[in-house]
Structure 1
Amino acid sequence: MPDPHPARAGEREDKRSLFQKLVEFIKPGPDSTDELIETLAEAEDKALIDAESRVMLEGVLRLSDQTAGDAMVAAPRMDLLDIDAPYDELLHQVIGTAHSRFPVYQGERENIIGILLAKDLLKLQRAPELNLRTLLRPPVFIPESKGLNHLLREFRATRNHLAIVVDEFGRTAGLITIEDVLEQIVGEIEDEFDIEADDGDIFALPDHTWRVAGDTPLERVNESFGVQLGADPDGDLDVEFDTIGGLIAHEMGHVPSRGERHRMGGLDFQVLHTRGGAVRWFKVSPFPPGGD
């Protein structure tokens, strides 16, 4: 008996899942990760998946080949808190770096004794008699060689968001967060400061420092801080720079990484965030003439 609703068969065909379409497309199947990635590019060309989905799928595939050492923040650029520092100093650092979690050390930076959530520091303001040690969470230590796919699974299972990475000798090599791992899949994850603005942005912070976008025009930076950055009275510069990020990268000779600093014009520029081979945000603070 003929189907009284022949159109429904076509509708069912159109409702195949993305996974089913990909499986059918890649049969008999690639022999390596690189071939599978090439296949995904072909799938995008054939409009089976969009560009964003392809990038995420590639990130998932490459995750198994990456280790904690590939995605970590290196030890010299880690923001740590000293367990013996005064409360005001700790609060100043928490506000200035704007992280939500901090490794805490005692004595030497290598001696990490716990993890402090920034929100827990507020408890000391309301109850100064509390001991900071009671607020610390146990640190999680992982080897540099740990695969990111396994680390992500552990982060999800244990609900930890940060781990301390150690080298083969047990020394601190860096730290890695769940955000660092996810960024290998979805790309840079922007925070509340990552807003788009044609003219860049300068934000005053409570600790009398500023967040300055890397694409802020030099003219605006000079006007805001009363400096003359980029001025070249001798005409020695080969090119002119429109943004503060471009000028600092030129002065340093490379695109700076998160945590690197550069001083010029009486200002200290610390890199807070990078994206796409450029600095997205600086933390800017004045420093005294002749200071280190």
Structure 2
Amino acid sequence: LLVANNVINISIVVLFIAISKDFFRTISYPSIQFLLKIVLITFVILFFGEVLPKIYASRNNIKFAKKTVYLISFLEKILSPISLPMRFLTLFIQKKLGKEKSNLSVDQLSQALELTSSEETPSDEQKILEGIVSFGNTETKQVMSPRIDIFALQNTESFADVLKKVVEKGYSRVPVYRDNIDQIEGVLFVKDLIPHIDKKDFDWTTLLREPFFVPENKKLDNLLKDFQQMKRHLAVVVDEYGGTSGLVSLEDIIEEIVGDISDEFDDEDINFSQIDDKNFLFEGKIYLKDFYRIIEVDEDVFEEHKGEAETLAGLLLEILGNFPKKGQQINFAKCTFTVEVVDKKRIKQIKVTLN
């Protein structure tokens, strides 16, 4: 294809010079003639040889492929005496010099995905592809369950209390701490309690498994590899000072690719509710990426002002610069945010009206 492309481009240049010879004869300055020829021929090659064909092919990919596959196959056979030696020469040089790794950014890959998608592409497949593209650039703190939402047990609790709490909460794995949540000693697998469920008293702390700690800024692709190698499903996320920042599960990671999965960590009913076409009621802890998806807004406007915030409540704090009062309204980016429920120093519920 590269050989054919160059042959066509050279042919266009030769043809253009032959046709335009009389047209440029009226211009007495050779330098101006040369400059005009360069500008016009560059425009013709780029617009008709690159831009238009690629736009058409991206919008009619299947149709275009069916029409051109035989022509490409024919050209490949005819030009093989030239292309094959060039291919072997390229491979030889790459082996000697070393092949450079691709430096494509996530934004470039996202733009390429957007250009190659069409109306025929199922939305689920599109979301999965977008999730794969951004997966390696996503940090653990962006998907974890925050510290304030962690359900954990203290190692001094009685066996009866532990059984009551794990049944009530329904979690399959529970972190266990010594004095406070920053001193996690292990993880209790609820299934390990089953053989001892009939006992009146039992030292359940002997069942604890070693906790797996990860930093907030660990990339999800690396975390997934760790989970696979260590056969883990849960990790404790710690901040730069060693304090517990949150929890991240294998399900949280997979959700970044395939979308939301309903499990014991997710309760869609309390994250948001739609009042009507223009009004929504959100929990303050909802992640911004989910907020953008639900109300279908241009996230770039919010991203410029969110700072380090990952939740809707954090976004409002960044916009205001102080803690809001109950009933306070904030107008921003064609949205009106009304603080509905405040619990001490935490924004629990926010009403969003689309203007």
Conserved 8 A contact 1:44-1:51? no
| Aligned partner of 2:168 among 89, 92, 96 | 96
* Partner SS for 1:45: coil
Which residue number in structure 2 is paired with residue 51 of structure 1? 123
1:68 positional shift: 1.1
Q: Which residue in the other structure is 1:122 paired with? A: 194
The partner residue of 1:142 within 214, 220, 236 is 214
Check if 1:39 corresponds to 2:67: no
Aligned-partner SS, 2:246:
strand
Check conservation: 1:57, 1:185, Cα contact below 8 A. yes
Cα gap change, 1:275 to 1:156, in 2 (>3 Å): farther
In the aligned structure 1, how far is the partner of 2:235 from the partner of 2:167?
Answer: 22
* 1:178 matched residue in structure 2: 250
CA distance in 1, matches of 2:252, 2:125: 19
**Distance change >3 Å, CA 37–CA 213, structure 1 → 2:** closer
Deviations 1:61-87 (A, max 9, x none): 111111111111111211101221122
Q: What is the total number of aligned residue pairs between the two structures? A: 191
- Gaps in structure 2 of 5+ consecutive residues: 1-65, 70-101, 296-355
Higher-helix-fraction structure? 2
- Give me the CA root mean square deviation: 3.7
Cα distance in 1 for partners of 2:103, 2:135 equals 18
| Higher relative contact order, chain-length normalized (CA < 8 Å, sep 6+) | 1
- The one-letter code of the counterpart of 1:36 is L
* Partner deviation per Cα, 1:5-47 (whole Å, 9 max, x = no partner): xxxxx9xx8xxxxxxxxxxxxxxx9943223222223333064
Q: How does 1:113-262 map to 2 (within 5 A)?
A: 113-128=185-200, 130-191=202-263, 213=269, 249=281, 255-257=283-285
Give the whole-Å Cα distance in 1 for the aligned partners of 2:137 and 2:272.
37
Q: Which is further off, 167-176 or 79-88?
A: 79-88
- Distance in 1 between residues matched to 2:244 and 2:103, nearest whole Å: 39
How far apart, CA to CA, are the structure 2 residues paired with 1:149 and 1:257?
Answer: 24
Shift of 1:180: 0.9
Are residue 83 (structure 1) and residue 155 (structure 2) matched? yes
Q: Is the 8 A contact 2:227 2:250 kept in 1?
A: yes
**Structure 1 counterpart SS, 2:247:** strand
Tell me if the contact between 2:136 and 2:219 (Cα under 8 Å) persists in the aligned partners: yes
Alignment of 1:270-281 (within 5 A): none
1:107 match: 179
Separation in structure 2 between the aligned mates of residue 113 and residue 65 of structure 1, nearest angstrom: 30
C-alpha displacement of 1:113:
0.7
1:25 is matched with none
CA contact (8 A) 2:270 2:283 kept: no
% identity of equivalent residues: 31
- 1-structure distance, mates of 2:264, 2:226: 27
SS of 1:179's equivalent in the other structure is helix
1:70 matched to 2:98? The reply is no
Cα deviations by residue, 1:133-155 (Å, 9 ceiling, x for unpaired): 22111000111111111001111
Instruction: Supply the AA of the counterpart residue of 2:167.
Output: I
Shift of the 67–91 alpha-carbon distance from structure 1 to 2, 3 Å rule, reads: same
- Measure, in 2, the Cα distance between the counterparts of 1:192 and 1:171: 24
TM-score between the two structures when normalised by the length of structure 1:
0.56
In the TM superposition, what is the alpha-carbon distance from 1:159 to its structure 2 partner? 1.0
Other structure's SS at 1:65 match: coil
2:214 aligned partner, one-letter code = I
Structure-2-length-normalised TM-score: 0.47
